[in-house]
Structure 1
Amino acid sequence: MKYRIAYIDEDKGWINTFYQTFKADFEVIRVEVNSESSVETILDSLLASDLNAVVTDYLLEENAEVPFNGNKIVEELKRIRPHFPIVMLTSYPTQAIGHTDDVHIIYSKDILTVENDKDQEELDIFKSKIQSNISNYYRKIKDTNTRIEQLVEKRNKEGLDIKEEEELTKLYILFDELNPEGKDLPANLVHRDSISKLNEFVNETKEILEELKKLNQKK
């Protein structure tokens, strides 16, 4: 089964180029930005499309009458799904680097232009990186799920020490970030008391982090 990825751009030519380049390796969902687009509508579309990764152009306002670029989509998607696989392709890498927190997701669109064997090799490596990024993301979900189940089972049988309780708390928070819709919860957690504790852990920790941010801003 092919991974399902979205490509976002305001230029139909680049959208077609990306589709033709990647259609053999991925199921490509084409998202064209136009004057009616907003970050919110794009995000709603992405979140409803059951995607495995998102690739976006950076300079969306170049040919579309919109007040945002691809970095804004990245920021909002990362806020909702911090670990979700995202890539930014651009003809303006220097400009994109100056407006993007994670510079490692930025690649030049030149990678889509294959003129010789070296170019093809670079493109193949890029495709492998996307596939590995996606598979690593789902492996992280699985590993987190498995470790939570192990710790919950141990807690129910013999109890946890302080270090293990701390690890479980961090895993709850990580799992909440990996699964913001609450999908694929471990079987041992699908109980009202367990879910309440998970939500309490997550909410309390987030509140503490927010308070720390406020204190740091006052300094």
Structure 2
Amino acid sequence: MCGRNSLFIDQADLEARFDAEVVADGGYTPRYNIGPGDNLHIVTNEAPDEIDASHWGLIPFWADEPEEGIINARSETAAEKRVFQEAWESRPCLALSSGFYEWKSPNGGSKHPYRIHREDDPAFAMAGLWDVRAGEDEAISCVTILTTEPNDLMNSIHDRMPVVIPRDAESDWLAADPDTRKELCQPYPKDDLDAYEISTRVNNPGNDDPQVIEPLDHEQSGLGEFSS
């Protein structure tokens, strides 16, 4: 799954990376600890040259409150679930990230947080679905992140991972038909993802600063640490 995100690249670099302009109300502020219900910055198929902000948690049609939003959707079954069907058919988006967080419980013990990022790219994109739901005062743009089976790196941390879109497939994800997008919902195929253990400061969403991403004990964990 993906239950915590970050995006802290400079705005100019973010816009250059995705060839899009930030149009979000309130602009753009770097974030190191983005939790469910916060805003995610996204690029949608309807506005591929814009970076907007969207409530993290796709709000079901039966929900009374935005807090009932669904933060993740299984890519294998999203097309079959009524709550995601329309978005799957016609509203793909890119959920932008500088790295996401996942928790590992070795031998069933206490959970240890890890930061997963892409070594060669200060910002990358995860596959998402967006929608607009009526709110009490205004319409609410909302988004869910699609998940898939883990790749080799993630397999030792968690049994799911977000669908990370290779850079050369980002435009395809936004423009393709549902069947083609389905084929893109695979474990991340490249070897440029890395992971390292961080402190439990990330557990508190109120901790939203560069210290969150510091390697635990200032030693970055490599792939070898995750091998059994």
Larger RCO (CA under 8 A, 6+ residues apart): 2
- Bigger strand fraction: 2
Does TM, scored on the shorter chain, surpass 0.5? no
Normalization by structure 1: what TM-score? 0.25
Q: Which has the larger radius of gyration?
A: 1
